[in-house]
């Protein structure tokens, strides 16, 4: 009997402890939070010009994300080779050209090969802007035979709009798996990163893969490599943002429902938390990130600063109304709180204080947002919005 009583007391204590970390979906319980300063340098200097931002504050913030959240994305290797292993100039009933490219990267005499899949439209004269998807949903979503048409990668619609569409399966660079994530570029090319507290992990490795895809596009005359649009959904969206922040060759960075550790503010206590994400997916982040579980206020950054790193290149944030786990409002605020950096460049963004209505797109220089009706997914509706935004940004229509 005594033991039973003890057990119940333990149970109550344990569950209230857990409550501290439990998910909140009640707007009235979000509470107050103070974001780190975007435009004050570590020396206390106020940033008021793009030059100060680029020379001082941007590198400081980039390093903070590297050291505390995602880890590095190494840039060095000894050799890169591209081999077009398949080409079909009459794909999609003659509307597009399909290419499958094997990209082999060598460092310290070890190599990794990733496969890039791409379609470019045939009825165009100029090189085309290219959508590049960091794809964690598997190769089946990018069926090159087009027998299986998946709304996650709606190649026909993108080709019809005059853009190229491409993607690679993240498994080629770093499997999306707690145990196997090193079985790719980490084991083969960058083993020293595994031991580092700010070493590359899953999300950074996928970004590394996207960078190698752009290395290829720079050599392919059918692609306008100055107009690359990096796209990722959810975990892919987190990676797309981190990659877009690093690699200035990305013209538009799209984050679709990237949520926690993506576009959503971490200090806003709503939906997924740093504790949940680092418990379930520790291998996405550098080991240092875990210390901020239940301790978000101590983070030296918040996610609006990640978005700000991309400016003045364009950023598009998409969310879905029923995807509360990813905190649509927190994602909107992530974009909104990055505004001071857009403004530094003379870009008058003026986002309204509240999120726009569901299915209402907002386009500003150089940012866009929508909150689609429905659940967590990337759909043809989302793609239509990305295309509309790209048309405006690239001045195509
Ligand atoms: C969830 C994870 C999210 C998001 C999502 C996805 O389980 O908690 O942060 O990344 O997976 O990638 O679909």
Pocket probe mutation, ligand 1, options 134, 234, 258, 328, max atoms within 8 Å of Cβ: 234
Strands 128-135 and 164-169 turn out to be parallel
Ligand 1 centroid from CA 56, angstroms: 33
**Nearest partner of 244 among 303, 313, 305, 189, judged by Cα:** 313
Pocket probe mutation, ligand 1, options 202, 323, 325, max atoms within 8 Å of Cβ: 325
Ligand 1 nearest-atom number relative to CA 234:
12
Ligand 1 centroid from CA 234, angstroms: 6
pTM of this structure: 0.95
Which residue has a Cα nearest atom 6 of ligand 1? 234
- Look up the CATH number of the domain holding residue 54: 3.40.50.1820
Ligand 1 centroid from CA 235, angstroms: 6
Residue 107: phi and psi, rounded to 5, are -145, 135
Which residue has a Cα nearest atom 13 of ligand 1? 234
* 2 occurs within a structural domain: no
Sheet containing 223-233: which strands, arranged edge to edge?
79-90, 96-107, 110-121, 164-169, 128-135, 223-233, 250-256, 314-320, 367-372, 362-364
Q: How many structural domains compose the chain?
A: 1
Ligand 1 nearest-atom number relative to CA 136:
12
* 25 occurs within a structural domain: no
pLDDT at 292: 98
Q: Is 172 left (phi over 0), alpha (psi -120 to 50) or beta?
A: alpha
* 20 occurs within a structural domain: no
* 6 occurs within a structural domain: no
Burial class (CB in 10 A: 0-12, 13-18, 19+), 200: buried
pLDDT at 397: 72
Q: Mean pLDDT score of the chain, rounded to an integer?
A: 95
Which residue has a Cα nearest atom 8 of ligand 1? 277
Rounded to an integer, what is the distance from CA 256 to the centroid of its chain? 8
Pocket probe mutation, ligand 1, options 255, 266, 272, max atoms within 8 Å of Cβ: 272
Residues with CB under 6 A from ligand 1: 234-235, 259-260, 272, 277, 280
Give 32's strand partners: none
Ligand 1 centroid from CA 277, angstroms: 8
**Do residues 152 and 233 lie in contact, with contact meaning Cβ atoms separated by under 8 Å?**
yes
Ligand 1 centroid from CA 178, angstroms: 14
Percent share of the chain, pLDDT over 90 = 93
Ligand 1 centroid from CA 4, angstroms: 38
C-alpha–C-alpha distance, residues 76 and 343, integer Å:
34
The count of C-alpha atoms lying within 13 angstroms of the C-alpha of 59, restricted to the half-sphere facing its C-beta, is 5
Q: 157: domain range?
A: 43-393
pLDDT at 351: 98
Question: Helices 58-65 and 303-310: crossing angle, nearest 10°?
Answer: 130
Which residue has tokens 């996610």? 303
pLDDT band of 125, cuts 50, 70, 90: confident
Q: Which two tokens stand for residue 97?
A: 């050209």
Ligand 1 nearest-atom number relative to CA 238:
10
* 326 occurs within a structural domain: yes
- Residue 29 makes CB contacts below 8 A (sequence gap 6+) with 269
Pocket probe mutation, ligand 1, options 70, 232, 235, max atoms within 8 Å of Cβ: 235
DSSP per residue, 202-260: HHHHHHHHHHHHHHHHTT-TTEEEEEEEEEEETHHHHHHHHHHHH-TTEEEEEEES--T
Residue 280: phi and psi, rounded to 5, are -80, -35
Ligand 1 centroid from CA 58, angstroms: 28
pLDDT at 12: 46
* Distance set, CA 339 to CA 1, 39, 310 (Å): 61, 11, 12
Ligand 1 nearest-atom number relative to CA 257:
4
Percent share of the chain, pLDDT over 70 = 95
Q: Could you read off the pLDDT of 263-275 as tens digits, one per residue? A: 999 999 999 999 9
* 36 occurs within a structural domain: no
**Residues labelled as active-site residues:** 234, 376
Q: Could you read off the pLDDT of 129-146 as tens digits, one per residue? A: 999 999 999 999 999 999
Ligand 1 centroid from CA 151, angstroms: 19
* 300 occurs within a structural domain: yes
Q: Could you read off the pLDDT of 340-378 as tens digits, one per residue? A: 999 999 999 999 999 999 999 999 999 999 999 999 999
Which residue has tokens 């997916």? 281
Is it the case that residue 20 has pLDDT exceeding 60? no
* 33 occurs within a structural domain: no
Ligand 1 nearest-atom number relative to CA 261:
9
Ligand 1 nearest-atom number relative to CA 277:
8
Q: Could you read off the pLDDT of 100-109 as tens digits, one per residue? A: 999 999 999 9
């Amino acid at each position: 009997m005594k033991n039973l009583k003890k057990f119940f007391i333990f149970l109550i204590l344990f569950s209230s402890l857990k409550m501290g970390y439990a998910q909140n979906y009640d707007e009235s319980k979000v509470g107050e939070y103070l974001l780190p300063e975007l435009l004050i340098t570590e020396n206390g200097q106020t940033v008021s010009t793009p030059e100060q931002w680029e020379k001082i504050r941007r590198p400081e913030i980039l390093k903070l994300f590297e050291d505390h959240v995602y880890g590095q994305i190494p840039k060095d290797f000894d050799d890169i080779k591209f081999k077009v292993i398949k080409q079909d100039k009459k794909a999609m009933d003659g509307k597009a050209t399909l290419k499958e490219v094997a990209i082999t990267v060598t460092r310290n005499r070890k190599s990794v090969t990733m496969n890039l899949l791409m379609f470019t439209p045939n009825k165009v004269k100029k090189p085309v802007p290219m959508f590049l998807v960091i794809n964690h949903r598997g190769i089946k979503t990018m069926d090159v035979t087009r027998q299986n048409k998946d709304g996650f990668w709606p190649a026909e619609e993108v080709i019809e709009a005059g853009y190229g569409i491409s993607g690679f399966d993240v498994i080629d660079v770093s499997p999306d798996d707690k145990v196997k994530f090193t079985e790719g570029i980490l084991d083969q090319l960058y083993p020293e990163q595994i031991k580092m507290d700010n070493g590359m992990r899953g999300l950074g490795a996928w970004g590394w893969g996207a960078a190698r895809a752009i290395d290829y596009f720079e050599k392919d005359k059918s692609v306008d490599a100055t107009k690359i649009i990096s796209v990722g959904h959810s975990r892919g969206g987190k990676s797309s943002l981190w990659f877009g922040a690093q690699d200035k060759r990305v013209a538009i960075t799209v984050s679709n429902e990237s949520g926690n550790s993506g576009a959503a503010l971490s200090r806003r206590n709503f939906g997924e938390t740093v504790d949940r994400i680092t418990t379930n997916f520790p291998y996405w982040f550098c080991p240092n990130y875990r210390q901020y579980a239940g301790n978000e206020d101590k983070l030296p950054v918040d996610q609006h600063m990640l978005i700000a790193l991309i400016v003045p290149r364009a950023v598009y944030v998409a969310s879905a109304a029923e995807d509360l786990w990813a905190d649509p409002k927190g994602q909107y605020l992530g974009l909104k709180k990055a505004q001071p950096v857009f403004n530094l460049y003379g870009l008058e963004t003026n986002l309204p204080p509240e999120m726009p209505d569901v299915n209402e797109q907002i386009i500003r220089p150089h940012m866009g947002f929508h909150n689609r009706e429905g659940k967590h997914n990337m759909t043809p509706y989302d793609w239509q919005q990305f295309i509309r935004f790209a048309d405006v940004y690239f001045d195509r229509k």
